[in-house]
Amino acid sequence: MLTLRSLRAVLGGRPVLHGIDAVARAGRVTAIIGPNGSGKTTLLRAIAGDLPHSGSVAIDGAEVARLKPWDLAARRAVLPQATTLAFPFTVAEVVRLGLTAGPHAGRSELVEPALAEVDLPGFGPRLYQELSGGQQARVQLARVRVQVWDPVVAGRPCWLILDEPVAALDIAHQLAVMRVLRRYADAGGGVVMVLHDLNLAAMAADEVWLLHEGRLLAAGSPAEVIGGAELARAYGCPLTANRPAPPGATFVLPHALWAGAA
Ligand SMILES: Nc1ncnc2c1ncn2[C@@H]1O[C@H](COP(=O)(O)OP(=O)(O)OP(=O)(O)O)[C@@H](O)[C@H]1O
Ligand SMILES: [Mg+2]
């Protein structure tokens, strides 16, 4: 269980998170949504233990601020919103970066299955910088996956903490990654990710957190949060949530598609 209590964070002298209380459960997929600048990345960094904060962030009872880097690496793997690489690494070398610490450290045999999982089988010897943007994003996902390959280690869940993991991916690969994350959660792991695509969040998440100006405006099921009145308020534009027949996931269409909007 990931427990946030009165979580506050300050960046550049400005408060960015204003006291967030929330719980994410292993075995479930939690999606964080909200407009640009609402604090999603800051929240993920605090959850990951990478950002000084006040209040409490605990992963399965352990306060992240007090965990040693090795112990943090054993419990969660983090995909940042943007990754830059200064050296001409091969794809396999990039994925192996995920095996420098954590429960599977050094287990190079995980590289190929992780690449296959993101639909890049056999890409290990290729130069990372010579891949497309979406392919590079999938390599980064593979790097994160190998670090916490098994969803449960010694009876304790591992966590995937992902900032916009599918922003660069085509629709088929977005869905494929969502299936990977679903399997991970179904096997007992925890998944917390930032998504901008509300329809993907509605389809893929069990729990949705809606951030607005550094506050948790709503939390609950996709139907409650994405289908709720707070959504349009958070984004500041008219939105209507619908449910297709036969009943399925909530989906959202912006009003500007029809008429009237400037
Ligand atoms: N290093 C920093 N120093 C000062 N302010 C920062 C810093 N990083 C982020 N901020 C501010 O904190 C707020 C939240 O930023 P954050 O990156 O968490 O937003 P976000 O919800 O992830 O947005 P996006 O959807 O654009 O990725 C923004 O107002 C941003 O300007
Ligand atoms: Mg962000």
CB atoms under 10 Å from CB of 127, counted, come to 12
Please state the atom number of ligand 1 nearest to the C-alpha of residue 34.
Answer: 21
Give the orientation angle of helix 133-147 with respect to helix 171-186, to 10 degrees: 10
Ligand 1, atom nearest to 45 Cα: 18
pLDDT at 248: 72
- 63 beta partners: 58
Query: Residue 176 Cα, ligand 2 centroid: separation in angstroms?
Result: 22
The model carries a pTM of: 0.94
Give me the domains of the chain, ranges plus CATH numbers: 2-257 (3.40.50.300)
pLDDT tens column, 40-51: 999 999 999 999
Residue 246 pLDDT: 62
**pLDDT value at position 261?**
46
**By alpha-carbon position, which residue is closest to atom 13 of ligand 1?**
37
C-beta of residue 44 within 8 angstroms of C-beta of residue 212? no
Instruction: Please give the Cα distance from 112 to 253 (Å, whole number).
Output: 39
The residues near 231 (Cβ < 8 Å, ≥ 6 apart) are 198, 210, 218, 225, 239, 241, 252
Residue nearest to atom 19 of ligand 1 (CA): 37
CB-based burial of residue 193 (10 Å sphere; 0-12 exposed, 13-18 middle, 19+ buried)?
buried
How far apart are the CA of 42 and the centre of ligand 1, in A?
Answer: 6
Give the ligand 1 atom nearest the CA of 35: 25
User: Does ligand 1 have an atom closer than 6 angstroms to the CB of 187?
Assistant: no
Q: Which residues of the chain have pLDDT under 50?
A: 261-262
Q: Is residue 240 within 8 Å of residue 224, measured between CB atoms?
A: no
Read off the DSSP letter of residue 127: B
Report the alpha-carbon distance of residue 220 to residue 167 in Å, rounded. 23
Torsion angle of C-alpha atoms 124, 189, 40, 172, degrees rounded to 10:
50
Ligand 1 neighbour 189 (Cβ under 6 A): no
Strand residue runs (E) in 25-83? 29-33, 54-59, 62-63, 76-79
Give just the sign of the alpha carbon dihedral 145, 185, 33, 250: positive
Question: Quick one: which H or E segment has residue 133?
Answer: helix 133-147
**Is the CB of 46 inside a 6 Å radius of any atom of ligand 1?**
no
CA of 41 to the centre of ligand 1 (A): 7
pLDDT tens digits, 44-80: 999 999 999 999 999 999 999 999 999 999 999 999 9
User: For atom 2 of ligand 1, which residue has the closest CA?
Assistant: 11
Distance 166 CA to ligand 2 centre (A): 13
